[in-house]
Amino acid sequence: MEKDRSVIDTTKSKTNEGLPNDTEMVIESSEDLEVVKSFDDLGVREELLRGIYAYGFNKPSAVQQRAILPIIKGRDVIVQSQSGTGKTCVFTTGALQSIDLQLREPQVLILSPTRELAEQTQKVALALGDYMQVKVHCCIGGRNVNEDVFKLEHGTHIVSGTPGRVFDMIQRRTFKTTSIKMLILDEADEMLNQGFKDQVYDIYRYLPYGTQCVVISATLPQEILEMTNKFMNDPVKILVKRDEITLDGIKQFFVAVDKEEYKFETLCDLYDTLTITQAVIFCNKKNKVEWLAKEMRKANFTVSYMHGSMPQKERDAIMAEFRAGQSRVLITTDVWGRGLDVQQVSLVICYDLPLNRELYIHRIGRSGRFERKGVAINFVTNEDVRILRDIEQYYSTQIDEMPMNITGFM
């Protein structure tokens, strides 16, 4: 291991299979950090190390090299890093190393803003902890409460859930928090926005004094950092500079459409391009998702769709089909945009530009993961030009007009 002597560190490292390319990534840390070049040097238990390598990780990414060790050492940690850099591995490794396997009570609580993200986190934790025989329960709405009660009362080490259901289980006194030693907020910018802020604070009040806090997100606006100060003690901050946050390898384009009605025709023209591998199309509202899927199907195009008001079982089935490649074009709201990993996705279309600029990075972060090339296409009406320019300025990026032969970038 070596010391990270500079507060701002320009990393030039080529990772191996299963990890992204961190070339020219600018890492900003609040203090000197040990840079751990190999998973072997983390000092984690042997069973966990076997799980990390069995999962396909070879060499830690730049963020993993700096963030895992402080978590293992018990520090409060804030990690800001773009999609595809292995953030989930950061906090799941820290969580798995911290638990006492002999104690069959919840010791780590991971909160996510969506059910799908909570499920994915559970799967990663189970995979990395496979040789540890760790018990990880997914506590989310849309499922039978009795299943939560049974799992929580019969021993689980880690709980991955959404704030609403987790708080419900705590109030029922089914989820005993007395042994919780670590709280992890994944996608914290969304978690601490108005919709989730109060629920997170309600849960935090039930946790033991001095609970270690880990905050993970692709974007951390200043107002969110100020909120985390209320329940974090002298946190280590590992931040990617904002002007470096857009993923390398993602080509960003816009298509100018004179009117909202012309977007549909433009999308139909692009359909053959969409199905080269897999594509995700984002709309801002649930009713527009349903309308667009209906219109595409009427025009004899094969698409699937998903949004947050659909029953959980239906959402799970749609996601399973999309992961398996049985569905090639998915129309959705931002419920899908945050943290979900389908590696075949090479094209993201913003049918509507996002309602706020922080959401943009979560959307386009779906494509081009783990060194694959990816393309993001934004449909822009005359009214949207100002929003597009704001996104460009915020991320210090350039979004060009889409060329005629877009397939050359896929």
Out of 242, 268, 302, a domain closes at 242
Tell me, yes or no, whether 141 and 107 share the same domain: yes
Residue 21 lies inside a defined structural domain of this protein: no
Tell me, yes or no, whether 318 and 396 share the same domain: yes
Tokens coding 336:
């899908």
- Grouping H, G, I as helix, E, B as strand and the rest as coil, residue 327 is coil
Distance CA 401, CA 398 (A): 10
- Grouping H, G, I as helix, E, B as strand and the rest as coil, residue 390 is helix
In order along its 410 residues, the chain shows pLDDT tens digits of 444 433 334 333 333 333 444 444 566 776 778 889 999 999 999 999 999 988 878 888 888 899 999 999 999 999 887 666 678 899 999 999 999 999 999 999 999 988 888 998 999 999 999 999 999 999 998 888 898 888 888 889 999 999 999 999 999 999 999 999 999 999 888 777 657 888 998 999 999 999 999 998 877 777 677 778 888 999 998 876 554 555 567 889 999 999 899 999 999 988 877 767 788 999 998 999 999 999 999 998 889 999 888 888 888 889 888 888 888 899 998 876 554 555 667 889 999 998 777 778 878 865 545 455 688 999 999 889 888 988 887 777 889 999 887 766 76
Q: Using CB atoms within 10 A of its CB, is residue 362 exposed (0-12), middle (13-18) or buried (19+)?
A: buried
Mark out the alpha helices in 78-156 (DSSP H runs). Answer: 87-98, 115-128, 145-153
What's the whole-model pTM score?
Answer: 0.65
Tell me, yes or no, whether 208 and 254 share the same domain: no
Q: What's at 251, amino acid-wise?
A: K
Tell me the DSSP string of 12-74: -----TTS---TTEEEEESS-EEE--SGGGG---HHHHHHHHHTT--S--HHHHHHHHHHHTT
Q: Residues near 75 by Cβ (< 8 Å), separated by ≥ 6?
A: 212, 234, 235, 236
Residue 56 lies inside a defined structural domain of this protein: yes
Residue 1 lies inside a defined structural domain of this protein: no
Tell me, yes or no, whether 196 and 106 share the same domain: yes
Domain housing 192: 27-242
Residue 7 lies inside a defined structural domain of this protein: no
CB distance 113 to 191 below 8 Å: yes
Out of 242, 268, 294, a domain closes at 242
CB distance 177 to 152 below 8 Å: no
Strand partners, 251: 375
Distance CA 87, CA 264 (A): 36
Q: Residues near 18 by Cβ (< 8 Å), separated by ≥ 6?
A: 55, 56, 57, 58, 370
The residue among 343, 332, 333, 381 whose CA lies nearest residue 365 is: 343
Give first-to-last CA distance, the chain, whole Å: 38
- Grouping H, G, I as helix, E, B as strand and the rest as coil, residue 283 is coil
Residue 11 lies inside a defined structural domain of this protein: no
Q: What's at 16, amino acid-wise?
A: N
Out of 191, 211, 242, a domain closes at 242
Tell me, yes or no, whether 113 and 85 share the same domain: yes
Domains of the chain: total: 2
CATH number at residue 49: 3.40.50.300
Q: Which residue has the tokens 């089909």?
A: 321
Tokens coding 52:
């990390």
Tokens coding 410:
């896929």
Beta strands in 17-154 (DSSP E): 25-29, 33-35, 77-80, 108-111, 136-139
The residue among 327, 329, 289, 296 whose CA lies nearest residue 310 is: 289
